Chain A
Amino acid sequence: MSRLSWFNTVSLTLGFAFLYIPMVILIVYSFNESKLVTVWAGFSTKWYGELMRNDAFLSAAWVTVKVAVLSSTFATILGTMGAYVLVRGGRFRGRTLFSGMIYAPLVMPEVITGLSLLLLFIGIGIERGVMTIVLAHTTFAMCYVSVVVSSRLVTFDRSLEEAALDLGCSPAEAFRLVTLPIIAPAVISGWLLAFTLSLDDLVIASFTSGPSATTLPIKIFSAVRLGVSPEINALSTIMIGIVTVGVISASLISKQALVRQKRDEQAAARVQ
């Protein structure tokens, strides 16, 4: 089917309009002169200026980035280990419990995860702050990383590792020199996923943060509870812009790699 029927055209158009119009409106009105967000009063970038002078938002953004970098890095290390255990661990006592603990946080309501972690931190008397948010985010993000990495490991040709051992690598060298470079794309996308999840999280951060640490989503949430504001629109536009650039460039890079690989394979077939 090379041409779309009118039904499919309509459903795709309406569907993507539904997905994108709210964001487009948000972006357009972030350049609105007026304080009243619903009334257009001419083009202006003043709300971006306001945002840059708002120390509370800036410091929250800094905390958020710090938490996201730390937690996604820890989550990637732990999650990759978890994926390795799931796919290659073989049988060990408590394997079922382990895989349950990897998959459960994916479907757990955030309110429950947040509440339970808060009760833990209070129970063992840790003061809440950046560190507790990092611990909480690492825990739920490592499960996402595990799932991403283990789906790559499942299709990994084991004879590559065996070949490395056969050629004189210790198991650790085989992992470092062969396995890791090959699964690197999955590990990187796991890191990106963990980073975004951490950047995005409101509920768990609200439970586990203390007065000393406020993340951007917490700040945004308390601001938007009071209603729509142009400053938040500007902030949202910046965040949407960053994500868009990231996702599009990532997909372009992977598309280019795919095209190059196809071309190489065709060239190889000709050589034969």
Chain B
Amino acid sequence: MQSSKFAPWDDPDAKPLIRFKNVTKRFGEFTAIDNLTLDIYEREFFALLGPSGCGKTTMMRMLAGFESPTEGVIELAGQDIAPVPPNKRAVNMMFQSYALFPHLSVWDNIAFGLRRDSMPKRDVEDRVEEMLRLVRLEKFAKRKPHQISGGQRQRVALARSLAKAPKLLLLDEPLGALDKKLRQDTQFELMDIQEKTGTTFVIVTHDQEEAMTVASRVAVMDQGQLMQVSTPDRIYETPNSVYVADFIGDVNIIQGRATQDGEETYRIDWAEGQKPLTAKSSNVFSAGQTCHLAIRPEKVAITAERPEDAANAVQGRVHDIAYLGNLSTYHVELSNGTIIKAQTSNTRRISRRTFTWEDTVWLSWTATAGVLLAN
């Protein structure tokens, strides 16, 4: 029976396509990947997300076969892939620079990998035509890479790496070279193609919005380690650390001391002369333990009067307003100097905005709005 929701990572019987087992990779003194264990399942769209130098590209190059792990084992469909050279792996890669062969036409670029497999000529032709249709480039088959636009080059690179129908497709910052508008369109196209072909995609990116949009699961990396591996919504709503909360989207972090105050409820003393805050959390804190309350700005309400029923409310002065078109972010300075961000939708015209600079306002949020984190 097929479950309605695609979530093999929650199924204990599911066999992963890729398995990193305690993989460490060192370059001389530098440890790029530090004892990392990870499963990726078939038909997943998996994103490796992190700042540059976090080791995400090294992970990808180990999968492609351009690097080999210093310690640990990488399995593809249950087989250790360490002894398999890159040209013998059922894994293809789409390079950040696209790496299109400049001396070959679009057609020949896509056919390149198929010809290496000594596929019959007719089959090569059929497959190339199919790929050209998939990326909607039939008209450009005869062109050379420098004769087409950046977005088209990106699609040729995708078609070329998909042509051999790999078990696994690696995408290294696939949209990095495109401008913002084109990037957004292409993200949906990528998801479409992934769904159509049923190929497992592993994408490397430093753009959190991109990772959240395209991926079924996201792995947030830092300094060669996995910080959190989960679905985009869980990463956003319930980050497991201040690092992840801070890396993904905008967030207010309030540091304080937790005291249990009822079932899964804590009182947080966070500043002299300020009323304690209340937050619900399934994480357990001992009395007086340092904690961090992470609240997304859009979960903070901004009002002129003190709201009656709010679990948490603080008063402050509007310090700055960032107008983003559809949204406005208010930077509100509290009496102790802390700045808290609150975001509201601009449903009204800007000239009729309720608050302006130096206004005294109330910020409020519920007990479940934030996440209470130990570190």
Chain A interface (Cβ within 8 Å of chain B)? Answer: 157, 159-160, 162-170, 173, 177-178, 181-182, 261, 264-265, 267-269, 271-272
Contact = CB atoms under 8 A, between A and B. Distances in A.
Interface stretch (B122-130, B146-154, B289-297, B319-327): B146-154
Contacts of B8: none
A166 B64 contact: yes
B93 A173 contact: no
Given A162-B95, A268-B149, A169 B87 contact: yes
Contacts of B160: 167
Interface in B81-122: 85-88, 91-93, 95-97, 99, 101-103, 112-113, 116-117
A261 B102 CA distance: 12
Contact of B95 (A163, A170, A264, A267): A163
B149 A162 contact: no
A162 B101 contact: no
A225 B160 CA distance: 65
Nearest to B139: A271
Contact of A160 (B92, B99, B116): B99
Contacts of B112: 164, 167, 177
Contact of B148 (A157, A168, A170, A268): A268
26 contacts: A157-B97, A157-B99, A159-B96, A159-B97, A160-B99, A162-B64, A162-B66, A163-B99, A165-B66, A165-B87, A166-B91, A166-B113, A166-B161, A167-B116, A167-B160, A168-B88, A168-B117, A169-B87, A173-B116, A181-B103, A182-B101, A182-B102, A268-B152, A271-B148, A271-B152, A272-B151
A268 B146 contact: yes
Contacts of A181: 103
Nearest to B93: A166
Of all A-B residue pairs in the complex, the 4 with the closest CB atoms, nearest first, are A167-B113, A168-B116, A272-B149, A163-B99
Contact of B99 (A162, A168, A173, A272): A162
Could you say which interface size class chain B belongs to? 20 to 34
B116 A264 contact: no
A268 B147 CA distance: 5
Nearest to B163: A167
A269 B113 CA distance: 28
Contacts of B86: 162, 165-166
A165 to B, nearest CB: 4
Given A162-B95, A261-B146, A264-B147, A168 B101 contact: no
A269 B150 CA distance: 8
A174 to B, nearest CB: 8
Given A162-B86, A166-B86, A167-B113, A271 B99 contact: no
B101 A160 contact: yes
A267 B113 CA distance: 28
B92 A166 contact: yes
Interface in B54-89: 64-66, 85-88
Contacts of B25: none
A264 B146 contact: yes
B147 A163 contact: no
Given A167-B116, A168-B117, A264 B144 contact: yes
A204 B227 CA distance: 66
B280 interface: no
B19 interface: no
B217 interface: no
Contacts of B341: none
B189 to A, nearest CB: 15
Interface in B218-247: none
A168 B66 contact: no
B43 interface: no
B257 interface: no
A57 B179 CA distance: 65
A178 B112 CA distance: 10
B155 interface: no
Contacts of B85: 165
B164 interface: yes
Contacts of B92: 166-167
Nearest to B151: A272
Given A163-B95, A168-B87, A169-B116, A271 B101 contact: no
Contacts of A164: 101, 112
A35 B307 CA distance: 114
Contacts of A163: 93, 95, 99, 101
B138 to A, nearest CB: 14
A173 B101 CA distance: 14
Given A166-B92, A265-B146, 18 more contacts: A157-B99, A159-B97, A160-B99, A160-B101, A165-B66, A165-B87, A166-B64, A166-B93, A166-B161, A167-B87, A167-B112, A167-B116, A168-B88, A182-B103, A261-B146, A264-B147, A271-B148, A272-B151
A168 B151 contact: no
A170 B91 CA distance: 15
A272 to B, nearest CB: 4
Interface string B148-182: 11111000000011001000000000000000000
A163 B88 CA distance: 13
Contacts of B99: 157, 159-160, 162-163
A148 B149 CA distance: 31
Contacts of A178: 101
A272 B113 contact: no
Nearest to B160: A167
Most-contacted residue by chain B among A159, A164, A167, A181 (CB, 10 A): A167
Nearest to B88: A168
A265 B117 CA distance: 33
